[in-house]
Structure 1
Amino acid sequence: MNGLASSPMGTMYVRALYDYDADDRTSLSFRQGDIIQVITQLESGWWDGIIRGVRGWFPSNYCELIAQPGDVAAQPARMSDTHTQPHAR
């Protein structure tokens, strides 16, 4: 095996759960909530993808799978307010 896997069912998309700032020219930067089209998956967890016309490698554990880019409206990418907001007294 060559360490590569790809999506046999057609185009695959992920939604970023966190911000990621690339540290080199081959990596892909993104922000929480961004939708990335996945091109190649490595068994190491680094995936090759495209966002806004830019292609690069990114850590798959920063993302969650979604069915299609249009599913973003149906599944908001925000955490529960109890985890992101201080409690009122």
Structure 2
Amino acid sequence: MTLLITGDSIVSAEAVWDHVTMANRELAFKAGDVIKVLDASNKDWWWGQIDDEEGWFPASFVRLWVNQEDEVEEGPSDVQNGHLDPNSDCLCLGRPLQNRDQMRANVINEIMSTERHYIKHLKDICEKVGGEMILL
């Protein structure tokens, strides 16, 4: 992926899922947003830009486009199922969009994982303070 970003080429990606930031250096976006990929040297987290905002985002939340001469104007409608549309000059290299049930399951799993992590941190804080944790 790093080779695709060198030179004057523009590498963009379409957000497949919403990404809510957990840290100040993360890039928030909604499904369907187009992100300009600036650094993909890490396989899991890429650095990107939407308008004037820049930040890290999970690579697994986007579908990659290549061979774009200009900024994306219309959106992802020309690319379907990972194939090049003959009327378009962009190629989707990521996974095709999953069905609605699978997308919903992925979002729920992400939320549950985040909540478990948050609860663990709360328990650690309560133990360090020396108080008892009371569940309501």
- Residue correspondence of structure 1 range 28-67 to structure 2 within 5 A: 28-67=27-66
TM superposition shift of 1:24 = 1.1
SS of match in other structure, 1:28: coil
C-alpha RMSD over aligned residues: 2.5
Superposed CA deviations along residues 19-62 of structure 1, whole A, max 9, x for unmatched, are 00011110000000000001111324210000121000000110
Count of paired positions: 78
**Distance between the aligned counterparts of 1:43 and 1:27, measured in 2?**
14
Task: Give the aligned partner of residue 78 of structure 2.
Answer: 74
Higher RCO, Cα 8 Å, sep 6+: 1
Look up the equivalent residue of 1:75 and give its one-letter code. Answer: V
SS of match in other structure, 1:42: coil
- Structure with greater strand share of residues: 1
Contact 2:43 2:59 survives alignment (8 Å): no
| Structure 1 length-normalised TM | 0.71
| Structure 2 length-normalised TM | 0.49
Identity of aligned residues (%): 23
Structure 1 unaligned blocks of 5 or more: none
**Distance between the aligned counterparts of 2:25 and 2:11, measured in 1?**
20
Task: Give the aligned partner of residue 19 of structure 1.
Answer: 18
Structure 1: 4+ residue segments shifted above 4 A: none
Contact 2:15 2:32 survives alignment (8 Å): yes
Contact 2:15 2:29 survives alignment (8 Å): yes
Look up the equivalent residue of 1:40 and give its one-letter code. Answer: D
Structure 2 unaligned blocks of 5 or more: 81-96, 102-136
- Structure with greater helix share of residues: 2
